[in-house]
Amino acid sequence: MSLQALKVPKWGLSMEEGAVVEWHVAEGAEVGVGDELLEVETSKIANAVESPVAGRVVRIVAQPGETLAVGGLLAVIAQAGASPDAAEIDAFVADFQASFVPGGDDEGAGSSGPQTLEIDGARISYLTAGGGEATPLVLVHGFGGDANNWLFNLTELAVSRPVFALDLPGHGASTKAVGEGSVAALAEALLGFLAALKLPRVHLAGHSLGGAVALEATRRAPERVASLALLAPAGLGERINGGYLQGFIAAQSRRDMKPVLAQLFCDQALVSRDMIEDILKYKRLDGVTEALETLSAGIFPAGRQAAALRGVLEDPARPVLVIWGREDAIASPADADGLPAHVRVEVLDSVGHMPHMEAAGQVNRLLQEHLG
């Protein structure tokens, strides 16, 4: 089939529809794999939809302002070399629309709902997608985050391997007991998670505090970690934005939380009411404030990072990718200076502390290259 449908992607479990914000290409444009074709906005966040194939955009179906269900037809792309006539394209569109059932088929979503494990009596919740024999990838979120932070990455990365994204203790739907609240305790929880899932060896990707957790897990069990990807990681320097941490812990209302979350992004317009509401829903759970206070006191005492883990990166046999936003207001990309030569460092322009959300396509490509 020379014609390919460009469909509304499913970003995260709760997404049901998306609105077209604007097209970056016009009908007739030649596009390559990964080219950003348009912006789609959900109630939570806006993101670019990339071309899945190389070819030519022969029909733009959804116009700016239109809201479509997940899986709905955005455009038709003729694969490279094909030159369909208008009637063929019309027929393709008609066929698609006739058979499309909104919500009927989570095509491409890959991930089912959250799963739960009991590890030593403590509940750990996680998302998983993909399968196969390749070494699995485990995604570790940051302070105050959860598995859903990887909404733009989980299924995309699952094309070539099984991917798991867990909620660390104190976070998401996992236990709110965080013990002493140290990076070591979280790393033990991560290793316990790998053991419970019988994953002898994995790629680890950690964001922010999750980066430090991945580093510490690697230090403790180097044989289990095939590679490391660190996104705006903690653990490589001393500085951290203590005001952000305290603000995040203290904020109980939408109005208080909005300026706190805005610090995470270069493009502060990405902070939607739904994003804030999701964070508040998490923060309202019994035990969360105490967990965050314990973690903050244990991991970032007096607004400095307690764990120094640069030494973990010295083994040249383990590939390491570090991704940082140049506009990161929480942890400084300067912490990536002076790392060993085998460490690949990518600093992304116009990106803040959340590169996997703010530059999801770029980050996904870098991760795919890194994972091989």
Partner 1 sequence: MAKKTIREAINEALRQEMARDPDIIIIGEDVSGGAGGSGEEDAYGGVMGVTKGLIGEFGRERVIDTPISESAIMGAAAGAATTGLRPVAELMFVDFVGVCFDQIMNQAAKFRYMFGGKARTPMVLRTMIGAGFRAAAQHSQSLYHLFTAVPGLKCVMPSNAYDAKGLMIQAIRDDDPVIFFEHKALYDIADEVPDEAYTIPFGEANFTREGDDVTIVAFSRMVHIANEVADKLAREGVSVEVLDPRTSSPLDSDSILESVEKTGRLVIVDESAARCGLAGDIAGMVAQEGFEFLRGPIRQVTVPHTPVPFAPTLEDAYIPSPAKVEAAVRQLLDSKRRRMSA
To the nearest 10 degrees (0 to 180), the angle between helices 209-220 and 183-196 is 70
Measured between alpha carbons, how far is 154 from 165 in angstroms, rounded to an integer?
8
Choice between 114 and 235, CB closer to partner 1 = 114
Instruction: Find all residues with CB under 8 Å of 8, minimum gap 6, and list them.
Output: 17, 18, 40, 49, 62, 68, 69, 70, 71, 72, 74
* Of 260, 261, 236, 244, residue with least CA distance to 332: 236
Query: Which residues contribute to the site for partner 1 (CB under 8 A)?
Result: 43, 65, 67, 114, 173, 176, 252-255, 272-273, 277, 281, 284-287
CB of 222 to partner 1, least distance (A): 35
Q: What are the phi and psi torsion angles at 169 (to 5°)?
A: -55, 140
CB of 43 to partner 1, least distance (A): 7
CB of 110 to partner 1, least distance (A): 19
CB of 273 to partner 1, least distance (A): 5
Measured between alpha carbons, how far is 290 from 169 in angstroms, rounded to an integer?
12
Choice between 171 and 370, CB closer to partner 1 = 171
How many CA atoms are closer than 13 Å to the CA of 179, on its beta-carbon side? 13
CB of 299 to partner 1, least distance (A): 23
CB of 292 to partner 1, least distance (A): 14
Instruction: Find all residues with CB under 8 Å of 104, minimum gap 6, and list them.
Output: none
CB of 248 to partner 1, least distance (A): 16
Choice between 24 and 284, CB closer to partner 1 = 284
Contact 11, 42 (CB under 8 A): yes
Choice between 67 and 135, CB closer to partner 1 = 67
Choice between 43 and 246, CB closer to partner 1 = 43
Choice between 99 and 253, CB closer to partner 1 = 253
The letter for the amino acid at 331 is A
Choice between 36 and 41, CB closer to partner 1 = 41
DSSP-derived secondary structure letter, 239: B
Which helix (H) or strand (E) segment holds residue 50: the answer is: strand 46-50
If you search the block for the tokens 């690949």, which residue do you land on? 344
